[in-house]
Amino acid sequence: MKKIILLAIMLGLVGCGEKGSSDVTSTTNNQSTELTSNNIQQASARSISTYSMTVPFDGWHLFNPKALGASALYEGTKDALTSSAVLTADASQVAKVLGKGVAGYALSVAVEELLGAVNWVLDPTNNTVKYYVNIRPDLAQPYDQYYVINYADNKKYATNDGACQALLLVHKNHSKATLSYSSSAWRCKLEGSGVKDIHYTLKTYANPAYDPNAEREQKNLHLETVAQKVIENADAGSLDAQIATMAAAAQILEDAANDEEIEQEIVDQLENKSQCPSGIVRNGSCWVCDRSQFMPITRATRDAKTAARGKSCEYVTDPVIKATNAVFWRNLINARIQENACWSPVDPNHLIELNNNRNALSRCEN
């Protein structure tokens, strides 16, 4: 029986499920309190503990897992050698973790980002998130426990957003309605060109026609789709989402105890990276800068890439816009140059991207 050093991620969930149940329910509609990571949830999401089991991978001892975007970086030692292994879980693996009730807050955030304000429940048996859609989202129905009024018309709306957007039909000179939550109340701000902003405070009432047995349309969202969003959030630096990706990586490590192929992949990483002082190897390139600079430098490149998205000057003639866009491309080029200087050898794909960015800049400067 193979043995393994396992650093598992253990998380105590707050407000998700009941008495150890794996079902997680959430009401993210506009009648509920705005979904935020309160102090209790933050403390829970950060409370990662580890435990170990004996005997390593082919002589390698793995320990001290750290989040590396959506991956987990494990340090490793073997006699006098030091190394590291990066384990990255895919959407199906993260979905399994979410289905067990781990990282409930990250799950809630991802569902809201994908679906908006809906009522939903985790169905781990079917690997889905079940959510419910109002037949008439603009008007409260018997299955709506509450209704919302905006004081501008006589309608009872199913959601705060519905009540807010309806105000544009009353104030036709305004073109934008923005919903916000402050001072324990939902508020709607109307804006428009050449007109003053108008502010409304919305009010929620119990629906006298509420029938808990009334049916509403049910739809399903595959848990892997939610998991992919969690991975994206973890890659962007969300500590809550990294709870899920770290737990999934720990599961990969556990599975390796009974899977020689997975074990060999991890051992190969450790052996190869033992030749790279930082222990960070990507696509055959070694990170030669200080290890502590890996995250800030690579994140700077990623952020600059996001900022430059959609800033092409190929069909732009306005000199002001071209000058503005050029700033984004210069920032990205500088970020790529700084990152490339830390890889040896430089990834050919990075060089191609750098050349593409320089071409994009030239179109903005000419």
Tokens of 319: 């000199």
Is position 6 within any domain? no
pLDDT, tens only, 263-278: 899 988 888 878 787 8
Higher pLDDT, 1 or 179: 179
In angstroms, the CA 231 to CA 98 distance is 11
Same domain assignment for residues 42 and 118: yes
Tens digit of each residue's pLDDT (9 = 90 or more) over 191-205: 999 999 999 999 999
**What is the model's pLDDT at position 331?**
97
Give the model's pLDDT for residue 150: 93
Buried b (16+ CB within 10 A) or exposed e, 276-312: bebbbbeeebbbebeeeebeebbbbbbebbeebeebe
Query: Is pLDDT at 321 greater than 90 in this prediction?
Result: yes
> What was the pLDDT predicted at 136?
60
The answer to whether the bond into 345 is cis (omega within 30° of 0) is yes
- 226 and 116, same structural domain? yes
Lowest mean pLDDT among 9-23, 96-110, 168-182, 225-239: 9-23
In terms of domains, do 157 and 192 share one?
Answer: yes
Q: Are residues 118 and 261 in the same domain?
A: yes
283 within a domain of the structure (yes/no): no
- Tokens 């500088």 found at: 334
Q: Which helix (H) or strand (E) holds 203?
A: strand 203-206
Q: Which residues contact 90 (CB under 8 A, 6 or more apart)?
A: none
Identify whether residues 228 and 120 lie together within a single domain.
Answer: yes
Look at the block and give the residue holding tokens 């809550």: 240
Of 18-27, 209-218, 319-328, the poorest mean pLDDT is in 18-27
pLDDT greater than 50 at residue 69:
yes
Residue 46 lies inside a defined structural domain of this protein: yes
Residues 46 and 110 reside in one and the same domain: yes
Closest CA to 321 of 313, 329, 310: 313
Judge if pTM exceeds 0.85: no
Which amino acid does the sequence have at 159? T
Domain extent, residue 305, equals 295-365
- Residue 134 resides in a domain: no
**Shared domain check, 269 and 192:** no
As given in the structure block, the two tokens for residue 55 are 């005997």
